[in-house]
Structure 1
Amino acid sequence: MVTKLDEFKGEWARISRLEQAIAVLNWDMETFMPEEGVTPRSEQLALLSELAHEWLTSEKMARLIEDSEKEVEDDDYFSHDAAMVRAARRIYNKKARLPHELVSRFARTIAKSNSVWIRARADSDFPSFAPILSEIVDLNREQADLLGHEGERYDALLDLYEPGLKTAETERIFTELKKDLIPLVRETISRHSGPDDAFLNQKFPVDRQEAFGMEVLRDLGFDFRRGRQDRSAHPFTTSFTPYDVRITTRFFENDLLSALFSTIHEAGHALYDQGLPLDMMDTPLCQPISLGVHESQSRLWENLVGRSRGFWNHYLPLLKRNFPGQLDHVDGETFYRAVNRVRPGLIRVESDELTYNLHIFIRFEIEKELVAGRLSVNDIPEIWNESYRDYLGMIPPDDARGCLQDIHWAHGAIGYFPTYTIGNILSAQLYRKALDDRPAIQSEIETGRFALLLGWLRENVHVHGARYTFAEIVKTITGNDLIVKPYFEYLADKYRGI
């Protein structure tokens, strides 16, 4: 007998497949689409996004969710069916508050803004990006008001990326971290100027960088039968299904580590997406819990693994073989110290672990004021530069190295940035628990093997998909709520020892 839950799954699968097609078009737009394809592509995305929204918010879907809720009301709370229907309800309740016209307008604007941002950044010309960014901010304000919020308008946007997170709670977490982090940054910088790392800025052929990155990707566990890596203006990961996960990176000939750490970061995202439950594909459960959890995976692999001494004990000899003669004079300890040099910089994605969160604090403060209407788009360069002076002691010499460096606003993703710091905090909490459960993880990393760590993450995080909320998964795995202490202790122990 076909149940209402079966009907719901069938209808949801149709929507899921349409959204996968939208994701393919978006990926193509950022990788291989010719420049003149922007206008027709924006119309394609607007139409398909509106259609997906119509299907998801239809009366039929509303009835199917309601009927399915009745069918699973006696099921165990964390059963797959009960969790699936809860996830569908959360998604439906948000989407149903947004009119089809707004969804279409948002998709059309974002499709156009990507190419505008690329040109503006290349020319270091914020005024050319400001008009479409103003549209994006207005769209986000409109969206936030329709979604509803009790406090800050920004709450509604945070909730899109980290469900349940509020502006006040974000400020509390950030204030707690700042209290100890900023003195640690100053202490570390004043203690020493840092090791010599000029050897990282020789000319390293891009094709060899790419080949080495591919080797690391395979070792980490990225399945190339279900994924690929390409190049783009800004590194990103997109997943159509767990069977097709795409990552991109960018290369600089005179910077050996930029592309490599971007690759490892995106690999963390991709490993999560490839590890989502295959038996739940095309349901609300075959997706990540939140962006904070997603960023915990990318930051864990990038920093706690990729910047560890054990990792480079294994990979430095391989790196030397890939670039013969260029690194022969560099010993393991010198390379490890160079990889972890603390040096305030202007570019978020190239910043060290200690100063990285300062970049996030700046973006959070600007976004919050923008959405509230207390800051205008035209004021962004000035407030950005002032904030960098105050937090990092530097003023960007141009917009490209200032407020145009990130793609997130061009994608309409206002409210995303705080999830990076949430992810950093969670990454340390998860890694500590993983080492408690499987002490051999670190010795495996020293031999270029990662199966123990990846297996632990698969079992404890990835395989659940969206079965749990952020708070539930953190409590289930660690026995605690999200806490700053393990993350700060990790940073303090590491950098006071370098």
Structure 2
Amino acid sequence: MELATALEELAALQKEYFAFQYAEGILYYDSVTGAPEGSTQGRGEAMAILSGRDFEILASPHVGALLDFLQTRQAELSELQNAQVRVIRREYDQISKVPKHEYTAYAALINEATAVWHRSKQENDYASFAPYIDRIVGTMIRFAGYYAPGKDAYDVWLDHHERGMTKEKLETFFGGLRRTIVPLLQRITDKGAQPDNGFLFREYPVEKQRALSDALMQVLTIDRRYCAIAETEHPFTTEFTKHDVRITTKYLPDNLAGAMYSTIHEGGHALYELHTGDELMYTFLGHGTSMGIHESQSRFFENMVGRSEAFVQAIYPKLSALFPAQLKDVDAHRFWLAVNRAEPSLIRTEADELTYSLHVMVRFEIEKKLFAGEIIAKDIPALWASLMKDYLGVDVPDDRRGALQDSHWSGGSFGYFPSYAVGSAYAAQFYAAMGRELDIEAAVRSGDLSPLARWLEQKIWRFGAAKEPDELLLSATGAPFDPKYYLSYLTDKFRRVYGLDGAW
């Protein structure tokens, strides 16, 4: 085989795979944003056929031979071509080990589980959803056995979302977080005074909240020609190409901060996808490199930028203009204190920045036990309640605000949750590195986030999946991953918010 011919085949393979992924992505997006409730069956049939074609494209022995050939010619390939081969090889080595009928059946299962989860959450009916958890976990354990025989199944899926991640590493990481978060939270509790946040729960018309989302996307420098926003039960972001990115949010008429920070969070994801390099389009590199790095971008904008006093001051004129009656007795400083109020709560997506990782730890402990075979789905609500009481001191009143609150398990995203906490720690390290080169606070206070966006595009976004997470972190910050930046960030911020070292 000629090298030029092999590279043409590699490009054609990636473009065809992209086309089927695009179609499947559109089907999923529609299913959770606008499709009628009774559409599940037909969509499931379509998804099974499309995923079957995915399988045939990628799992073909010819693809294995093509990758073998290209790997013998590494010295003649460009850096990007070698990265493509590396990433496709990783995907091929997994999918080619799974029987096709199991692969397509899993796609159909996820489609059905997603629909059942939506209905179960609305009706607080955990019993209807529980069997899907057992079926999904069973399939994922079986797939892990195909991918990496003899390796711990949960470690396989942790590595899938964040390469190199294991239970052991996460236990060490979470242990360090708890040693910082719990005493800090106790100091806040002992202080006995909380910022008033009652005004955040006044009546905020959804129409005006939609206008706020539009304004926030503009401030974030999101180009609306290539990014749309829709509404769903559980917000998420998806990309089809860098020129077609969709974010979603959820509006509640009596909760201003919920949709506001959901939009900023998803906007961070969108910025990453919108700014991958043009040369990566239609390849396996044209998206974020890992879930941890992706979450670092969403958490960076949601928390380090969005919950900073400088940002609140910059957008407060818009908030006051949209909600003059609701915020007539509230100034920007008071609003900033309110959106940084730290206290245990039930819902992960509404949790404050300090206690958020404790919610992640609850899910991590449950997933470990599920994949170890120590519990099954019916045991989750009781274990959830016990862990929430232990970690956060709260009582879980129902499954809708407990084990049914997140969509992740219905989509098979076991092993994803730790990415939120790891991503937050990555974000703090990126923030510290950026701060050595830019006056972040001045840029944010001006309402012009373009200097931040340019730094992130240059250091992170443009590489897509061409660089591995550890390589990206090292090149962007000059150091390997170190959670100390996150621990310092949390400590310094909440000492300031609560005046722990002085007057409040």
- Counterpart in 2 of 1:165? 165
Query: What one-letter code is carried by the residue in structure 2 that aligns with 1:36?
Result: G
User: 1:214-233 maps to which residues of 2 (within 5 A)?
Assistant: 214-233=214-233
Query: What one-letter code is carried by the residue in structure 2 that aligns with 1:497?
Result: R
1:364 is the counterpart of 2:389 = no
Query: Does the CA-based 8 Å contact 1:152-1:167 persist in structure 2?
Result: no
User: 1:296-375 maps to which residues of 2 (within 5 A)?
Assistant: 296-375=296-375
Question: What is the deviation of 1:149?
Answer: 5.5
- Counterpart in 1 of 2:18? 16
Query: What one-letter code is carried by the residue in structure 1 that aligns with 2:419?
Result: T
- Counterpart in 2 of 1:425? 425
- Counterpart in 1 of 2:453? 454
Structure 1: how far apart are the matches of 2:193 and 2:103? 50
Deviates more, 1:183-192 or 1:406-415: 183-192
1:390 is the counterpart of 2:390 = yes
Question: What is the deviation of 1:245?
Answer: 0.3
User: For 2:283, what is the secondary structure of its paired residue?
Assistant: coil
Cα offsets for 1:358-390 (capped at 9, x unmatched): 000000010011011011110000000000000
Question: What is the deviation of 1:125?
Answer: 1.4
- Counterpart in 1 of 2:40? 38
User: For 1:496, what is the secondary structure of its paired residue?
Assistant: helix
Question: What is the deviation of 1:6?
Answer: 2.2
User: 1:31-70 maps to which residues of 2 (within 5 A)?
Assistant: 31-70=33-72
- Counterpart in 1 of 2:5? 3
Query: What one-letter code is carried by the residue in structure 2 that aligns with 1:243?
Result: H
User: For 1:3, what is the secondary structure of its paired residue?
Assistant: helix
- Counterpart in 2 of 1:197? 197
Query: Does the CA-based 8 Å contact 1:5-1:67 persist in structure 2?
Result: no
TM-score normalised according to structure 1 size: 0.97
1:28 is the counterpart of 2:27 = no
Structure 1: how far apart are the matches of 2:189 and 2:7? 58
- Counterpart in 2 of 1:488? 487
Cα offsets for 1:424-483 (capped at 9, x unmatched): 1000000111111222x3211112110000111101001011111111111111122211
Question: What is the deviation of 1:192?
Answer: 3.3
Question: What is the deviation of 1:150?
Answer: 4.8
Cα 1:149/1:420, change in 2 over 3 Å:
farther
- Counterpart in 2 of 1:156? 156
- Counterpart in 2 of 1:115? 115
Structure 1: how far apart are the matches of 2:185 and 2:146? 41
Structure 2: how far apart are the matches of 1:75 and 1:191? 61
> Which ranges of structure 2 fall in alignment gaps of 5 or more residues?
498-504
User: For 1:344, what is the secondary structure of its paired residue?
Assistant: coil
User: For 1:73, what is the secondary structure of its paired residue?
Assistant: helix
Query: Does the CA-based 8 Å contact 2:94-2:146 persist in structure 1?
Result: no
Query: Does the CA-based 8 Å contact 1:226-1:245 persist in structure 2?
Result: yes
> What CA RMSD, in Å, does the superposition of the two structures yield over aligned residues?
1.3
Structure 1 residue runs of 4+, over 2 Å off? 70-76, 149-152
User: For 2:93, what is the secondary structure of its paired residue?
Assistant: helix
Structure 1: how far apart are the matches of 2:317 and 2:218? 17
- Counterpart in 2 of 1:408? 408
User: For 1:437, what is the secondary structure of its paired residue?
Assistant: coil
1:73 is the counterpart of 2:75 = yes
Question: What is the deviation of 1:74?
Answer: 4.8
User: For 1:365, what is the secondary structure of its paired residue?
Assistant: helix
Query: Does the CA-based 8 Å contact 1:5-1:64 persist in structure 2?
Result: no
- Counterpart in 2 of 1:477? 476
**Number of residue equivalences:** 495
Structure 2: how far apart are the matches of 1:219 and 1:252? 22
Cα 1:140/1:193, change in 2 over 3 Å:
farther
User: For 1:389, what is the secondary structure of its paired residue?
Assistant: helix
Question: What is the deviation of 1:151?
Answer: 4.7
Cα offsets for 1:222-265 (capped at 9, x unmatched): 11111100001110101011010001111100001100100000
Query: Does the CA-based 8 Å contact 1:189-1:342 persist in structure 2?
Result: no
Query: Does the CA-based 8 Å contact 2:158-2:165 persist in structure 1?
Result: yes
User: For 2:479, what is the secondary structure of its paired residue?
Assistant: coil
Structure 1: how far apart are the matches of 2:192 and 2:86? 52
Question: What is the deviation of 1:100?
Answer: 1.2
Structure 1: how far apart are the matches of 2:465 and 2:334? 42
Question: What is the deviation of 1:3?
Answer: 3.3
Cα offsets for 1:322-345 (capped at 9, x unmatched): 012221211222111111001110
Deviates more, 1:47-56 or 1:172-181: 172-181
Structure 1: how far apart are the matches of 2:135 and 2:284? 30
1:463 is the counterpart of 2:462 = yes
Cα offsets for 1:122-158 (capped at 9, x unmatched): 1111111111222111111111211115553201111
Structure 2: how far apart are the matches of 1:150 and 1:131? 26
Q: Give the share of equivalent positions with the same residue, in percent.
A: 37
TM-score normalised according to structure 2 size: 0.96
